[in-house]
């Protein structure tokens, strides 16, 4: 029995696990329509993205869901079959950049050349040019405000790269929290954030989704729905390593010792939380929502 059919059979026979049912109750306030997104990246020298991405594909199949997979060019070069597998399973393939570095660390000319190559590679592998781009670390910040013009020039239709809040890694405080149009016409789909005191947290992704306690996730989901759902675009994000409990500790220079530990620990809750998020909810790729999101987006120019 394949892993996909096994997961589907388990869910038919016994329904969600207790942890997934608890997670589903925590997300009950969220709208029924969202987009499940994955940043397909690999730790330097790693070789586990294929196995963990396959688990995510099986999870989506079992839920009858489709999502958007932002693939880093290094992964597409090393494992082209993984890219074609994602596309053949009915998901949108988009770009996660040509290198996993903050945009502000790149010269515009280098970014343009690298993204042209990355976009062509995905187009050749899937038969369709990618419409979407997501910056590593959500690093479309004021220091990289030149990037949208280049993305539009290369033919991208949208970006999902702005974290509209302060963040230790990258953020753009004051940017719109709802979809907006850059002056060049590129559509931006900011990370969904919910207010917690003076902070705004991207609660539906990565370490936040793994580490926040259930009662806090429930409160943030209710607050996002009450304050941000009108005109907002709900989506989640994760990485293949977020559910990889067997991976050894990897020291990431970009995260430091403490950050590397946080990225490595507490991966067990991720799969049931993703199952709970999908339960009773419909996930469609961003490309299926673009026309509606663009029609509702307002133009925004950074000061």
For residues 31 and 282, what is the distance between their CA atoms, to the nearest angstrom?
9
Q: How far, in Å, are 31, 68, 288 from residue 235 at the CA level?
A: 10, 10, 13
Asked if residue 261 has pLDDT above 60, the reply is yes
Asked if residue 181 has pLDDT above 90, the reply is yes
pLDDT-based confidence at 300, cuts 50/70/90? very high
Instruction: For the chain, give the mean pLDDT.
Output: 92
Residues 103-143: pLDDT tens digits?
Answer: 999 999 999 999 999 999 999 999 999 999 999 999 999 99
pLDDT-based confidence at 11, cuts 50/70/90? very low
Question: Which of residues 42 and 240 earns the better pLDDT score?
Answer: 240
pTM reported for the whole predicted model = 0.93
Q: Which of 82, 102, 100 is nearest to 91 (CA)?
A: 82
pLDDT-based confidence at 8, cuts 50/70/90? very low
Q: Go through the domains of the chain in sequence order and give each one's CATH number.
A: 3-296 (3.20.20.370)
Average pLDDT value for residue range 3-9: 44
For residues 76 and 283, what is the distance between their CA atoms, to the nearest angstrom?
24
pLDDT-based confidence at 217, cuts 50/70/90? very high
- What is the reported pLDDT for 143? 97
For residues 126 and 235, what is the distance between their CA atoms, to the nearest angstrom?
23
Question: Which of residues 13 and 29 earns the better pLDDT score?
Answer: 29
Asked if residue 10 has pLDDT above 50, the reply is no
Q: Which of 231, 239, 230, 227 is nearest to 201 (CA)?
A: 227
Question: Which of residues 252 and 188 earns the better pLDDT score?
Answer: 188
Residues 56-78: pLDDT tens digits?
Answer: 999 999 999 999 999 999 999 99
- What is the reported pLDDT for 252? 85
Asked if residue 45 has pLDDT above 50, the reply is yes
Residues 137-172: pLDDT tens digits?
Answer: 999 999 999 999 999 999 999 999 999 999 988 999
Asked if residue 6 has pLDDT above 90, the reply is no
Adjacent-strand bridge partners of 69: 38, 93
Average pLDDT value for residue range 171-179: 96
């Amino acid at each position: 029995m394949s892993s996909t059919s096994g997961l589907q059979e388990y869910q038919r026979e016994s329904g969600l696990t207790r942890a997934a049912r608890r997670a589903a109750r925590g997300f009950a306030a969220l709208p029924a329509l969202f987009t499940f997104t994955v940043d397909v990246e690999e730790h330097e020298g790693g070789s586990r993205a294929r196995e963990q991405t396959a688990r995510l594909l099986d999870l989506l199949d079992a839920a009858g869901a489709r999502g958007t997979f932002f693939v880093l060019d290094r992964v597409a070069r090393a494992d082209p079959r993984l890219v074609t597998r994602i596309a053949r399973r009915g998901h949108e393939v988009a770009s996660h950049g040509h290198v996993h570095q903050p945009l502000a660390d790149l010269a515009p000319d280098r970014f343009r050349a690298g993204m042209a190559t990355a976009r062509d590679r995905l187009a050749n592998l899937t038969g369709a040019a990618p419409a979407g781009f997501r910056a590593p670390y959500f690093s479309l910040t004021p220091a990289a405000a030149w990037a949208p013009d280049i993305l539009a020039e290369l033919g991208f239709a949208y970006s999902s790269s702005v974290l509209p809040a302060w963040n230790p890694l990258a953020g753009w405080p004051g940017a719109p929290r709802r979809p907006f149009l850059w002056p060049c016409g590129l559509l931006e789909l900011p990370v969904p954030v919910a207010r917690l005191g003076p902070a705004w947290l991207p609660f539906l992704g990565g370490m936040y989704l793994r580490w926040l306690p259930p009662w806090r996730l429930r409160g943030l989901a209710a607050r996002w729905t009450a304050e941000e759902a009108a005109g907002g675009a709900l989506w989640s994000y994760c990485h293949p390593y977020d559910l990889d409990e067997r991976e050894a500790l990897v020291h990431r220079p970009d995260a430091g010792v403490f950050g590397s530990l946080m990225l490595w620990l507490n991966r067990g809750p991720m799969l049931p939380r993703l199952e709970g998020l999908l339960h009773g909810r419909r996930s469609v790729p961003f490309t299926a929502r673009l026309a509606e999101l663009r029609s509702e987006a307002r133009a925004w120019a950074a000061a």
